[in-house]
Amino acid sequence: MTRRPLNPMPQALHWEKAMTEITLAAIKQAAAELADVAITTPMEQTRWLSAIEQGQVLLKCENLQRTGSFKIRGAFIRLSRLTAVERSRGVVAASAGNHAQGVALAASMLDISSTVFMPEGAPIPKYNATLGYGAEVHLHGTDLTQTLQAAMEYAERTGAVFIHPFDHADVIVGQGTLGLEILAQAPETATVLVPTGGGGLLAGVAVAIKSQRPDIKVIGVQAEAAAAWPKSIAQGHPVQLPAMATLADGIAVGRPGDLCFEQVQRHVDDIVTVSDDLIARASVQLMERAKMVVEPAGAAGVAAVLDDPRRFSTPTVCVLSGGNIDPLLMGKMIRQGMSASGRYLHLRVRIPDVPGGLARWLAELATTGANVLEVSHDRTSNSLRVGEVDVSIHVETRGSEHSQAVLDHLGLDQSG
């Protein structure tokens, strides 16, 4: 995956000072305002994760929320509190997907014109969904930093109100309503794992939970290749990453929000990081075991459980923050997740280049129960003797133990 340099993440534009305080009372008020807007998403038990952690693990399924993520909560609260003059100017946002859809739907519900800037090459399903919610969509820039800059220039030029994806008090209290639902649905909770990018969801959930149950551990989870929070916490202020590269684009934010940072520093117990391999494994296992389609960012909490099952006190709630995944990315993620789980095996063998030679070898492979996915031949290697052929074989296995059993049976190591 290509690593790209980042310019500083633009922070919120403030034409007027935000009047909302980030408090439990404000979050409860936001919940009342969202009663007919956001659905109360399910809290599902998961036996397979509970067995891994040896304690109860629950899934808070925001992937089933309207627009496919938690973003409608904060977007609606932010837009609903605009003045009549601000509404008349319209709103503008920049996003690769989830925030775009949340703003577009909220604007449509409130009869506000919306413009959304998305990066060139944004997933077609997310582009079409944003259009479908009524936004005017512009493709600009090769990464989100350039797209954000274009959106803010549009705001300055037209007077449209820029809707920041996370660093605004109204957005934070809107996202915090998720924390209220967690306490109502699972009051016995000991730990809450929250996928974390800029920090709006983590800050809101932490305020909602810690204001009522300070004993509950609230932990943010970041992709390790896009983890701005650990260094920021260590230095006591938001720190910009020089570069990042992760398949979890929903939490790929190069700098924590200023308002978010204040709340996270005050209320959050810890920030942990997980690899892309673990995120891919978590997404695949959620699909297979929980029958849940969850985007990579939304699976970060489950990845943290897979990484260190004994680390978290149970019952543990994993927030599945979104389910908007491009089908092409899903295919790549499934392959990466299965490989990380030891379910893909690459064999390279040298056999006689005679009729029936490969068939006999594959017949022996078949006795191991491995499933052949792809076979290719190489007759051009300088190390080959006349009458030999190198065969590259990709097989699917049931997991790491089965892979090792296949290798042992054939007398091979993984490289053949």
Write down the pLDDT at residue 337: 66
C-beta of residue 181 within 8 angstroms of C-beta of residue 60: yes
C-beta of residue 58 within 8 angstroms of C-beta of residue 316: yes
The pairing of strands 243-244 and 4-5 is antiparallel
Residue 185 in tokens: 């649905």
As a CATH number, domain 71-162 is 3.40.50.1100
Q: Fold for 342-410, please state it.
A: Alpha-Beta Plaits (3.30.70)
**Start-to-end CA span in the chain (Å):** 27
Write down the pLDDT at residue 76: 98
Write down the pLDDT at residue 10: 47
As a CATH number, domain 25-69+176-339 is 3.40.50.1100
Same fold flag, 25-69+176-339 and 71-162: yes
d(CA 410, CA 6): 48
Mean pLDDT of successive 10-residue segments in the chain (416 residues)?
42 48 97 97 95 96 97 98 97 92 97 94 85 95 82 96 95 98 98 97 98 98 96 95 87 92 97 94 91 94 95 97 84 71 76 78 80 76 72 78 78 63
CA distances from 8 to 238, 241, 393 (A): 11, 8, 45
Write down the pLDDT at residue 404: 79
Domain locations in the chain as residue ranges = 25-69+176-339, 71-162, 342-410
Residue 155 CA, chain-centre distance (Å), reads 28
C-beta of residue 73 within 8 angstroms of C-beta of residue 321: no
